[in-house]
Amino acid sequence: MEQRLRLEAKALLEQGKVSCVIGFEVGSLRFTTTPLITGDRDATGRLVLNPFMANNLSVYLPGIKEKVAVVAKGCDSRSIVSLIQDNKVAREDLVIIGVPCSGIIDLAKVEGLVDKDRDEIDDITRHGDKVLITVNGDKREYPVREVLFDNCLACETPTPQEYDILLGEPTAAAGDESRKAGQEKIARLKAMAPDERWAFWRSEFERCLRCYACRNICPACFCERCFVEETEPTWVMPIPRWQDNLLFQVTRNLHVAGRCTDCGECERACPVAIPLRSLAREMYDIVSELFNYRAGTDKEAPPLLTCYEPTDVEDFIR
Protein backbone atom coordinates (compact mmCIF):
# COMPACT_ATOMS: atom_id res chain seq x y z
CA MET A 1 0.00 0.00 0.00
CA GLU A 2 2.78 2.34 0.97
CA GLN A 3 4.48 1.62 -2.35
CA ARG A 4 1.30 2.37 -4.23
CA LEU A 5 0.85 5.62 -2.31
CA ARG A 6 4.36 6.73 -3.25
CA LEU A 7 3.79 5.90 -6.91
CA GLU A 8 0.42 7.62 -7.05
CA ALA A 9 1.79 10.71 -5.32
CA LYS A 10 4.78 10.85 -7.61
CA ALA A 11 2.62 10.43 -10.70
CA LEU A 12 0.26 13.20 -9.58
CA LEU A 13 3.19 15.59 -9.23
CA GLU A 14 4.83 14.51 -12.47
CA GLN A 15 1.66 14.88 -14.49
CA GLY A 16 1.14 18.30 -12.95
CA LYS A 17 -2.24 17.29 -11.55
CA VAL A 18 -1.26 18.71 -8.20
CA SER A 19 1.51 21.03 -7.14
CA CYS A 20 1.80 19.65 -3.67
CA VAL A 21 1.27 16.44 -1.75
CA ILE A 22 0.30 16.30 1.92
CA GLY A 23 0.97 13.01 3.65
CA PHE A 24 2.92 11.43 6.47
CA GLU A 25 6.59 10.62 6.89
CA VAL A 26 8.45 8.96 9.73
CA GLY A 27 8.64 11.28 12.71
CA SER A 28 11.75 12.26 14.63
CA LEU A 29 10.48 10.51 17.74
CA ARG A 30 9.98 6.78 17.76
CA PHE A 31 6.57 5.40 16.85
CA THR A 32 5.42 8.70 15.44
CA THR A 33 4.80 10.21 12.05
CA THR A 34 5.03 13.82 11.02
CA PRO A 35 3.23 15.60 8.20
CA LEU A 36 5.11 15.72 4.92
CA ILE A 37 4.11 18.61 2.69
CA THR A 38 6.04 18.60 -0.51
CA GLY A 39 6.07 19.50 -4.17
CA ASP A 40 9.24 17.52 -4.77
CA ARG A 41 8.52 14.27 -6.62
CA ASP A 42 11.56 12.55 -5.14
CA ALA A 43 10.38 13.30 -1.61
CA THR A 44 7.29 11.14 -2.24
CA GLY A 45 9.58 8.18 -1.50
CA ARG A 46 9.44 9.26 2.13
CA LEU A 47 5.67 8.89 2.41
CA VAL A 48 4.53 6.25 4.86
CA LEU A 49 1.33 4.55 5.95
CA ASN A 50 1.36 3.02 9.40
CA PRO A 51 -0.73 2.75 12.56
CA PHE A 52 0.94 5.85 14.03
CA MET A 53 -0.32 8.38 11.49
CA ALA A 54 -2.50 10.23 13.92
CA ASN A 55 -2.65 13.73 12.42
CA ASN A 56 -5.72 14.97 10.64
CA LEU A 57 -4.05 16.57 7.62
CA SER A 58 -7.16 18.41 6.51
CA VAL A 59 -6.13 21.20 8.89
CA TYR A 60 -3.71 22.43 6.18
CA LEU A 61 -6.37 22.83 3.53
CA PRO A 62 -8.34 26.02 4.30
CA GLY A 63 -7.15 28.88 2.18
CA ILE A 64 -4.98 26.75 -0.06
CA LYS A 65 -4.80 28.28 -3.53
CA GLU A 66 -3.36 25.45 -5.57
CA LYS A 67 -4.24 21.90 -6.39
CA VAL A 68 -3.11 19.48 -3.71
CA ALA A 69 -3.24 15.79 -2.98
CA VAL A 70 -3.95 14.85 0.60
CA VAL A 71 -3.81 11.55 2.46
CA ALA A 72 -6.98 11.00 4.47
CA LYS A 73 -8.24 8.38 6.89
CA GLY A 74 -11.98 8.00 7.48
CA CYS A 75 -12.32 10.85 9.99
CA ASP A 76 -9.95 13.08 8.02
CA SER A 77 -11.94 12.66 4.84
CA ARG A 78 -15.06 13.71 6.73
CA SER A 79 -13.22 16.79 7.97
CA ILE A 80 -12.36 17.56 4.35
CA VAL A 81 -15.99 17.22 3.33
CA SER A 82 -16.96 19.48 6.19
CA LEU A 83 -14.49 22.10 4.92
CA ILE A 84 -16.03 21.78 1.46
CA GLN A 85 -19.46 22.36 3.01
CA ASP A 86 -18.13 25.51 4.64
CA ASN A 87 -16.58 26.71 1.38
CA LYS A 88 -13.14 26.61 2.90
CA VAL A 89 -11.73 24.45 0.16
CA ALA A 90 -12.98 23.50 -3.30
CA ARG A 91 -13.46 19.84 -4.14
CA GLU A 92 -11.90 20.31 -7.56
CA ASP A 93 -8.69 21.57 -6.00
CA LEU A 94 -8.21 18.31 -4.16
CA VAL A 95 -7.07 14.85 -4.92
CA ILE A 96 -8.10 12.86 -1.88
CA ILE A 97 -6.01 9.78 -1.34
CA GLY A 98 -8.27 7.77 0.94
CA VAL A 99 -6.85 5.24 3.36
CA PRO A 100 -9.25 2.72 4.90
CA CYS A 101 -8.24 2.90 8.54
CA SER A 102 -8.23 0.21 11.17
CA GLY A 103 -7.33 2.45 14.07
CA ILE A 104 -4.38 4.49 15.25
CA ILE A 105 -2.18 3.37 18.13
CA ASP A 106 -2.23 5.46 21.29
CA LEU A 107 1.32 5.34 22.65
CA ALA A 108 0.15 6.34 26.10
CA LYS A 109 -1.99 3.19 26.20
CA VAL A 110 0.94 1.09 25.02
CA GLU A 111 3.15 2.57 27.71
CA GLY A 112 0.53 1.85 30.34
CA LEU A 113 0.08 -1.70 29.13
CA VAL A 114 3.74 -2.70 29.28
CA ASP A 115 4.60 -0.25 32.05
CA LYS A 116 7.53 1.13 30.07
CA ASP A 117 8.39 4.47 28.56
CA ARG A 118 8.25 4.64 24.75
CA ASP A 119 12.05 4.92 24.68
CA GLU A 120 12.36 1.56 26.40
CA ILE A 121 10.12 -0.20 23.89
CA ASP A 122 11.99 -1.91 21.05
CA ASP A 123 9.17 -2.42 18.61
CA ILE A 124 5.43 -2.17 18.13
CA THR A 125 3.89 -4.01 15.21
CA ARG A 126 0.34 -4.62 14.29
CA HIS A 127 -1.00 -7.87 12.87
CA GLY A 128 -4.72 -7.71 12.22
CA ASP A 129 -6.46 -7.46 15.55
CA LYS A 130 -3.31 -8.21 17.52
CA VAL A 131 -0.43 -5.97 18.42
CA LEU A 132 3.08 -7.24 19.15
CA ILE A 133 5.07 -5.17 21.59
CA THR A 134 8.73 -6.00 22.04
CA VAL A 135 10.42 -4.94 25.26
CA ASN A 136 14.02 -6.03 25.99
CA GLY A 137 13.77 -8.63 23.26
CA ASP A 138 10.67 -10.07 24.90
CA LYS A 139 7.66 -10.18 22.53
CA ARG A 140 4.24 -9.70 24.06
CA GLU A 141 0.96 -9.95 22.23
CA TYR A 142 -2.17 -7.95 23.07
CA PRO A 143 -5.55 -7.41 21.44
CA VAL A 144 -5.18 -4.27 19.33
CA ARG A 145 -8.30 -2.88 20.96
CA GLU A 146 -6.29 -2.24 24.11
CA VAL A 147 -3.93 0.17 22.41
CA LEU A 148 -6.10 2.14 19.98
CA PHE A 149 -7.23 5.72 20.61
CA ASP A 150 -10.70 6.01 22.13
CA ASN A 151 -12.02 7.86 19.10
CA CYS A 152 -10.82 5.02 16.86
CA LEU A 153 -12.59 2.50 19.08
CA ALA A 154 -15.81 4.44 18.62
CA CYS A 155 -15.27 5.29 14.94
CA GLU A 156 -18.34 5.15 12.72
CA THR A 157 -16.59 5.70 9.39
CA PRO A 158 -13.10 4.22 9.21
CA THR A 159 -13.25 4.06 5.42
CA PRO A 160 -13.25 7.39 3.59
CA GLN A 161 -16.51 8.02 1.75
CA GLU A 162 -15.10 10.87 -0.30
CA TYR A 163 -11.93 10.09 -2.23
CA ASP A 164 -10.31 10.03 -5.64
CA ILE A 165 -7.99 7.14 -4.95
CA LEU A 166 -8.71 4.50 -2.32
CA LEU A 167 -5.70 2.58 -1.07
CA GLY A 168 -6.88 -0.86 -0.11
CA GLU A 169 -10.06 -2.58 0.93
CA PRO A 170 -12.75 -0.86 3.02
CA THR A 171 -12.58 -1.55 6.75
CA ALA A 172 -15.65 -2.13 8.89
CA ALA A 173 -17.02 0.34 11.44
CA ALA A 174 -16.41 -0.44 15.08
CA GLY A 175 -18.61 -3.10 16.64
CA ASP A 176 -20.75 -2.47 19.71
CA GLU A 177 -18.19 -3.66 22.20
CA SER A 178 -15.44 -1.55 20.73
CA ARG A 179 -17.70 1.47 20.56
CA LYS A 180 -18.62 1.03 24.18
CA ALA A 181 -14.96 0.93 25.16
CA GLY A 182 -14.35 4.12 23.20
CA GLN A 183 -17.21 5.87 24.97
CA GLU A 184 -16.40 4.64 28.45
CA LYS A 185 -14.86 7.86 29.75
CA ILE A 186 -17.85 9.84 28.56
CA ALA A 187 -20.27 7.36 30.08
CA ARG A 188 -18.47 7.71 33.41
CA LEU A 189 -18.80 11.48 33.23
CA LYS A 190 -22.48 11.26 32.41
CA ALA A 191 -23.07 9.02 35.37
CA MET A 192 -21.75 11.73 37.72
CA ALA A 193 -23.97 14.21 39.52
CA PRO A 194 -23.94 17.60 37.75
CA ASP A 195 -21.95 19.28 40.54
CA GLU A 196 -19.39 16.56 40.40
CA ARG A 197 -19.12 16.94 36.65
CA TRP A 198 -18.64 20.68 36.95
CA ALA A 199 -15.97 20.12 39.60
CA PHE A 200 -14.28 17.66 37.28
CA TRP A 201 -14.13 20.04 34.34
CA ARG A 202 -13.12 22.87 36.58
CA SER A 203 -10.14 20.96 37.90
CA GLU A 204 -9.17 19.87 34.39
CA PHE A 205 -9.23 23.43 33.13
CA GLU A 206 -7.13 24.65 36.01
CA ARG A 207 -4.28 23.04 34.08
CA CYS A 208 -5.06 24.69 30.75
CA LEU A 209 -2.28 26.99 29.55
CA ARG A 210 -4.32 28.58 26.80
CA CYS A 211 -1.66 27.63 24.32
CA TYR A 212 -4.50 27.16 21.79
CA ALA A 213 -2.91 24.02 20.41
CA CYS A 214 -6.36 22.41 20.49
CA ARG A 215 -7.77 25.19 18.38
CA ASN A 216 -4.85 25.36 16.00
CA ILE A 217 -4.80 21.65 15.28
CA CYS A 218 -8.56 21.43 14.78
CA PRO A 219 -9.65 21.37 11.14
CA ALA A 220 -13.09 22.59 12.20
CA CYS A 221 -11.59 25.68 13.89
CA PHE A 222 -10.82 27.68 10.80
CA CYS A 223 -11.73 31.25 11.75
CA GLU A 224 -9.10 33.75 10.78
CA ARG A 225 -9.83 35.71 13.89
CA CYS A 226 -10.89 33.76 16.94
CA PHE A 227 -13.24 35.24 19.56
CA VAL A 228 -10.58 34.69 22.21
CA GLU A 229 -8.43 37.30 20.52
CA GLU A 230 -11.18 39.90 20.33
CA THR A 231 -10.47 42.87 22.55
CA GLU A 232 -13.55 45.00 21.82
CA PRO A 233 -15.11 43.51 23.87
CA THR A 234 -12.80 41.08 25.57
CA TRP A 235 -14.95 37.96 25.69
CA VAL A 236 -12.40 35.92 27.54
CA MET A 237 -9.48 37.24 29.50
CA PRO A 238 -6.15 36.17 28.02
CA ILE A 239 -4.85 35.13 31.46
CA PRO A 240 -5.29 31.37 31.75
CA ARG A 241 -7.64 31.23 34.71
CA TRP A 242 -9.85 28.17 34.80
CA GLN A 243 -13.02 30.19 34.42
CA ASP A 244 -11.92 31.67 31.12
CA ASN A 245 -10.24 28.47 30.00
CA LEU A 246 -13.49 26.63 30.46
CA LEU A 247 -15.50 29.34 28.76
CA PHE A 248 -13.08 29.23 25.83
CA GLN A 249 -13.37 25.49 25.44
CA VAL A 250 -17.15 25.34 25.76
CA THR A 251 -17.51 28.06 23.15
CA ARG A 252 -15.00 26.34 20.89
CA ASN A 253 -17.04 23.17 21.07
CA LEU A 254 -20.19 25.08 20.21
CA HIS A 255 -18.40 26.54 17.20
CA VAL A 256 -17.32 23.17 15.90
CA ALA A 257 -20.71 21.53 16.48
CA GLY A 258 -21.67 19.77 13.27
CA ARG A 259 -18.12 20.15 11.98
CA CYS A 260 -16.24 18.00 14.45
CA THR A 261 -15.68 14.48 13.18
CA ASP A 262 -14.27 13.09 16.43
CA CYS A 263 -10.80 12.83 14.94
CA GLY A 264 -9.34 13.27 18.41
CA GLU A 265 -6.66 15.75 17.40
CA CYS A 266 -7.57 18.31 20.08
CA GLU A 267 -6.95 15.87 22.88
CA ARG A 268 -3.71 14.62 21.34
CA ALA A 269 -2.42 18.17 20.92
CA CYS A 270 -3.13 19.27 24.47
CA PRO A 271 0.20 19.51 26.32
CA VAL A 272 -1.47 19.09 29.71
CA ALA A 273 -3.65 16.11 28.78
CA ILE A 274 -7.08 17.62 29.28
CA PRO A 275 -9.58 15.02 28.01
CA LEU A 276 -10.85 17.29 25.24
CA ARG A 277 -12.20 14.45 23.17
CA SER A 278 -14.70 13.78 25.94
CA LEU A 279 -16.12 17.21 25.14
CA ALA A 280 -15.87 16.99 21.38
CA ARG A 281 -17.43 13.56 21.12
CA GLU A 282 -20.30 14.46 23.40
CA MET A 283 -21.11 17.39 21.15
CA TYR A 284 -20.85 15.06 18.17
CA ASP A 285 -23.35 12.73 19.82
CA ILE A 286 -25.73 15.53 20.83
CA VAL A 287 -25.79 16.78 17.26
CA SER A 288 -26.39 13.33 15.88
CA GLU A 289 -29.10 12.58 18.43
CA LEU A 290 -31.00 15.87 18.07
CA PHE A 291 -30.58 16.50 14.36
CA ASN A 292 -29.46 13.19 12.96
CA TYR A 293 -26.56 15.18 11.58
CA ARG A 294 -23.16 13.63 10.99
CA ALA A 295 -20.38 16.03 10.16
CA GLY A 296 -18.76 15.65 6.79
CA THR A 297 -20.91 12.86 5.41
CA ASP A 298 -22.63 14.89 2.70
CA LYS A 299 -20.76 17.56 0.79
CA GLU A 300 -23.96 19.06 -0.59
CA ALA A 301 -25.56 19.50 2.84
CA PRO A 302 -25.57 22.94 4.42
CA PRO A 303 -23.59 23.24 7.67
CA LEU A 304 -25.65 22.26 10.74
CA LEU A 305 -26.31 25.69 12.17
CA THR A 306 -26.93 27.42 8.88
CA CYS A 307 -30.10 25.48 8.28
CA TYR A 308 -33.14 24.20 10.15
CA GLU A 309 -36.09 21.90 9.84
CA PRO A 310 -39.58 23.11 10.74
CA THR A 311 -39.82 19.99 12.88
CA ASP A 312 -36.62 20.55 14.90
CA VAL A 313 -36.74 19.72 18.63
CA GLU A 314 -38.75 22.17 20.61
CA ASP A 315 -39.61 20.38 23.82
CA PHE A 316 -37.21 22.57 25.81
CA ILE A 317 -38.85 25.82 24.72
CA ARG A 318 -41.38 27.48 26.99
Partner 1 sequence: MGQDSEWQPRILGFLCRWCSYAGADLAGTSRKKYPPSIRVIQVPCSGRVDPLFILKALRLGFDGVLVSGCHPGDCHYQTGNYFTRRRMAITKRFLEYMGIDPRRLQVSWVSAAEGAKFAELATEMTRELKELGPNRLFTGEEQANGTKTAP
CA 167 to CA 283: how far, in whole Å? 31
* Residue 308 CB, nearest approach to partner 1 (Å): 4
Q: Which residues contact 183 (CB under 8 A, 6 or more apart)?
A: 150, 154, 281
Give the bridge partners for 23, in sequence order: 36
94-98/68-72 β-pairing:
parallel
Q: Which stretch binds ligand SF4 (CB under 6 A): 1-9, 111-119, 225-233, 270-278?
A: 270-278
Q: Does 188 bind partner 1 (CB under 8 A)?
A: no
SS3 for 108-161 is HHHHHHHCCCHHHEEEEEEECCEEEEEECCEEEEEEHHHCECHHHHCCCCCCCC
Question: What phi and psi, each to the nearest 5 degrees, are found at residue 34?
Answer: -135, 150
| Side chain identity at residue 86, one-letter code | D
* Residue closer to ligand SF4 (CB basis): 29 or 209: 209
- Residue with Cβ nearer ligand SF4 (271 or 302): 271
Among 243, 271, 272, 273, binds partner 1 (CB under 8 A): 243
| Residue 35 CB, nearest approach to partner 1 (Å) | 31
- What is the closest distance, in whole angstroms, from the C-beta atom of residue 240 to ligand SF4 in the complex? 7
Residue 238 near partner 1 by CB under 8 A: no
270 touches ligand SF4 by CB under 6 A: yes
Q: Is 260 in the site for ligand SF4 (CB under 6 A)?
A: yes
Interatomic CA distance for residues 2 and 46, integer angstroms: 10
Of residues 112-141, which lie at the interface with ligand SF4 (CB under 6 A)?
none
5 binds ligand SF4 (CB under 6 A): no
Residues within the interface to ligand SF4 (CB under 6 A):
208-214, 217-220, 249, 256, 260-266, 269-272, 274, 276-277, 280
